[in-house]
Amino acid sequence: MKKNEFSKHYSEKSLWKKLKDFSRKAGQKVVYAVLLLYYLMADKTIPLKTKASIAAALGYFILPLDAIPDLSPVIGFSDDLGVLIFALSQVAGSITPEIKERAKKQMEEWFGTIDENELKELEERIYF
């Protein structure tokens, strides 16, 4: 599948449903990555071409048929995380402190306590 084919699977409704159904199983790194991309895509200053790439990464996350089925314990979301990290690394310079804060606040609502070390580990991989 080409990148633009994955973007066809992106919709806000599908994204929230996937997060609702799988957020605990996917883990905080995956959810944080998804939320960073989601809030970045909502930013009016982000170019349309960049938003299309973000939609493709989020579409891959939403798509139930991917390289490693999401139903597999532990490794089921590893391919999703790889795609999300790649997308984030391409737009890392556009991720503002406000976007990070919005993502963390949403995670606190869902998880209660967030593991700051996991989030920092993800950020280190994005900003290599």
pLDDT for 33-74, tens place per residue? Answer: 999 999 999 999 999 989 999 999 998 888 766 544 544 444
For the record, the structure tokens of 65 come out as: 């048929």
Count other Cβ atoms within 10 Å, centred on residue 37: 25
Q: Is residue 54 a contact partner of residue 85, using CB atoms and an 8 Å limit?
A: no
Count of the separate structural domains present in the chain: 1
Nearest to 10, CA basis, from 2, 18, 20: 18
Percentage of the chain lying above the pLDDT 90 cut: 44
Count other Cβ atoms within 10 Å, centred on residue 116: 10
Nearest to 58, CA basis, from 91, 107, 25, 93: 91
| pLDDT for 118 beyond 70 | yes
* pTM, entire model: 0.81
Q: CA-to-CA distance for 21 and 3, rounded, in angstroms?
A: 24
Q: Is residue 88 a contact partner of residue 32, using CB atoms and an 8 Å limit?
A: no
Which of 6-10, 80-84, 106-110 is the least confident region? Answer: 6-10
pLDDT of residue 88: 95
Note down the domain range covering 12.
3-126
Q: What angle do CA 86, 69, 90 make, to 5 degrees?
A: 5
